[in-house]
């Protein structure tokens, strides 16, 4: 097939959530012998240059730089209109024209769009099959933000959620098939009133890259991994340091908490002044930081879709303690493959049960990796996607 694949961020290198899923889909489709044209956006010239290696995994790359100095005004301009502001942040006239030119030159058999915010780029592109992969339902993420932000930000997020719900419903109807990352996200899509064909296929993890090694773990080290320019991560680690870590350190005075992730703002860097807390900033490879930890935590109050940080930790054989919200996108059984906690006291008890009992840590280590191998491999995910596409074509 000739495939046009459109996504909102150049999916290379696949080091963050918004890039990992589309990259693996592209690599899989190209590996099956399909001709895959990828159209996407970069924010800087450096990001565009970094993405050149994507051409090894597809047939052609159509990429345009959309700097924030253009994207933000486009976003603000949509505030008083019915259009979602986030769609302005991902709109590029130049990329739209290049997609139109590619569609005139090539008869695409499949148009595959990842992320609703770039669906408008293919409104005029016809194909026998058009698939929109919402991934996560962004409208519901903004609704959750509205509940965790002060006024007037809360009103802004609520308004964006309302706009997005209308647009997501229309987008689902404009495509032949809509897909999501988890069953829960699919239920959210259907709850919006989308009545067309829809399905889901999970995120995976590269269990060969994220694998255990012989690094000894440090019994008094807890880690959090995630981009620190992302509000849910900031909220999560701040609350952990305020509500949970002091009680843990009262039990284990030598306990340390390592916050590993790129672009921490000053409010997060300031946490390093708290006893036992370190903030690494960007690191070339997160794996050594995870492997030497006794466990990792995902104390997120806002979490849509699959948290790759959880899968990667489980794949490396490092136990995970997380909120119910964070575990919702992972196909795992709480108490068997990971631990859940819903209050500060339960967080303390769950973490202590691992720190104080090496056999419990070993059991969760083995069970977590086995669950990733059986339920979150990219091979299994792409096999499911193949079936979805085959049924849609039929």
The string of DSSP codes covering 278-330 is EEEES-S-SHHHHHTEEEEEE--SS--S--HHHHHHHHTT--EEE-HHHHTTS
More confident residue, 366 or 17: 366
Per the CB < 8 A criterion, the answer to whether 355 and 295 are in contact is yes
Q: What pLDDT is recorded for position 307? A: 87
- Quick check: 322 and 340 in contact, CB under 8 A? yes
pLDDT digits (tens, 9 = 90+) for 246-274: 999 999 999 999 999 999 999 999 999 99
Q: How buried is residue 339: exposed, middle or buried, by Cβ count under 10 Å (0-12/13-18/19+)? A: buried
pLDDT at 16 (0 to 100): 79
Whole-number pLDDT of residue 50: 82
Dig out the tokens for 142 from the structure. 């903004």
343's tokens: 């209050």
Q: 222, 341 in Cβ contact below 8 A? A: no
Predicted pLDDT at 151: 87
For the chain, the straight-line distance linking the first and the last C-alpha, in angstroms and rounded, comes to 14
Contact 177, 284 (CB under 8 A): no
| Average pLDDT estimate for 98-119 | 96
pLDDT band at 364 (very low <50, low <70, confident <90, very high): very high
What's the pTM?
A: 0.86
Mean pLDDT of 370-381: 92
List Cα–Cα distances, 277 to 8, 255, 348, in angstroms: 35, 9, 16
| pLDDT of the residue at 305 | 74
Asked whether the bond before 328 is cis by omega within 30 degrees of 0, the reply is no
Report the pLDDT averaged over residues 42-68: 92
Q: How far apart are CA 297 and CA 295, in angstroms?
A: 7
pLDDT tens per residue, range 213-241: 998 999 999 999 999 999 999 999 999 99
Q: Does residue 142 register a pLDDT over 80?
A: yes
Q: Is the pLDDT of residue 145 over 90?
A: no
Token pair belonging to 304: 């849509």
Give the model's pLDDT for residue 8.
95
Which 3 state secondary structure label does DSSP give 35? strand
The answer on pLDDT for 244 being more than 90 is yes
What domains lie within the chain, and their CATH numbers?
A: 2-203+377-393 (3.40.50.2000), 218-375 (3.40.50.2000)
pLDDT reading at 17 higher than 90: no
Task: Write down the pLDDT at residue 319.
Answer: 98
Arithmetic mean of pLDDT, 275-290 = 95
Percent of the chain with pLDDT over 70: 100
- Is residue 216 packed enough to be buried (19+ CB in 10 Å), middle (13-18) or exposed (0-12)? exposed
Q: What is the mean pLDDT of residues 70-87?
A: 94
pLDDT (average), residues 152-176: 93
Q: How far is the C-alpha of 214 from the C-alpha of 370, rounded, in Å? A: 18
The answer for residues whose C-beta is within 8 angstroms of residue 306's C-beta and 6 or more apart is: 181, 182, 202, 203, 329, 330
Which one, of 302, 317, 331, lies nearest residue 367 by Cα? 317
Cα(318)–Cα(325) distance, integer angstroms = 20
pLDDT band of 152, cuts 50, 70, 90 = confident
Cβ atoms of 123 and 168 within 8 Å: the answer is no
Tell me what pLDDT residue 306 has: 79
Which residues contact residue 138 at a Cβ distance below 8 angstroms, ignoring those fewer than 6 apart?
86, 115, 116, 117, 164, 168, 304
Q: pLDDT at residue 148 above 90?
A: no
Phi-psi region of 64 (alpha: psi -120 to 50; beta: other; left: phi over 0): beta
- Per-residue pLDDT for 291 more than 90? yes
- pLDDT given for residue 195 in this prediction: 87
HSE-up of 318 (CA within 13 Å, CB side)?
Answer: 36
Q: Which two tokens stand for residue 171?
A: 């987008």
Residue 335 bridge partners (DSSP): none
């Amino acid at each position: 097939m000739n495939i046009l694949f459109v996504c909102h961020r150049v999916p290379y290198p696949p080091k963050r959530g918004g890039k990992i899923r589309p990259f693996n889909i592209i690599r899989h489709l190209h590996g099956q012998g399909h001709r895959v044209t990828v159209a996407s956006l970069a924010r800087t010239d450096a990001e565009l240059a970094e993405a050149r290696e994507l051409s090894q995994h597809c047939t052609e790359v159509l990429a345009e730089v959309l700097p924030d100095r253009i994207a933000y005004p486009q976003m603000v301009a949509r505030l008083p209109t019915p259009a979602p502001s986030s769609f302005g942040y991902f709109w590029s006239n130049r990329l739209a024209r290049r997609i139109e030119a590619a569609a005139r030159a090539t008869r695409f058999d499949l148009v595959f769009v990842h992320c609703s915010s770039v669906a408008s780029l293919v409104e005029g592109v016809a194909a026998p099959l058009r698939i929109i992969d919402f991934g996560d339902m962004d409208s519901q993420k903004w609704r959750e933000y509205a509940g965790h932000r002060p006024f007037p930000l809360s009103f802004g997020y609520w308004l964006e959620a309302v706009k997005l719900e209308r647009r997501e419903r229309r987008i689902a109807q404009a495509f032949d098939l809509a897909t999501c990352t988890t069953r829960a996200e699919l239920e959210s899509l259907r709850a919006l009133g989308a009545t067309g064909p829809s399905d889901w296929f999970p995120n995976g993890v590269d269990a060969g890259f994220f694998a255990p090694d012989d690094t000894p773990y440090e019994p008094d080290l807890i880690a959090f991994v995630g981009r620190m320019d992302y509000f849910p991560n900031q909220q999560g680690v701040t609350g952990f340091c305020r509500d949970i870590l002091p009680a843990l350190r009262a039990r284990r005075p030598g306990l340390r908490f390592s916050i590993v992730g790129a672009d921490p703002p000053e409010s997060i860097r300031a946490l390093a002044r708290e006893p036992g807390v370190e903030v690494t900033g960007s690191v070339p490879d997160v794996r050594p930081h995870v492997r030497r930890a006794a466990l990792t935590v995902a104390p997120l109050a806002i979490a849509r879709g699959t948290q790759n940080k959880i899968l990667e930790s489980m794949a490396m054989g490092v136990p995970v303690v997380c909120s119910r919200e964070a575990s919702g996108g992972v196909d795992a059984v709480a108490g068997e493959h990971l631990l859940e906690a819903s209050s500060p006291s339960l967080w303390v008890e769950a973490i202590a049960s691992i720190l104080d009992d090496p056999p419990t840590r070993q059991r969760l280590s083995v069970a977590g990796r086995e669950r990733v191998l059986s339920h979150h491999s990219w091979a299994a995910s792409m096999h499911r996607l193949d079936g979805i596409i085959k049924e849609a074509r039929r």
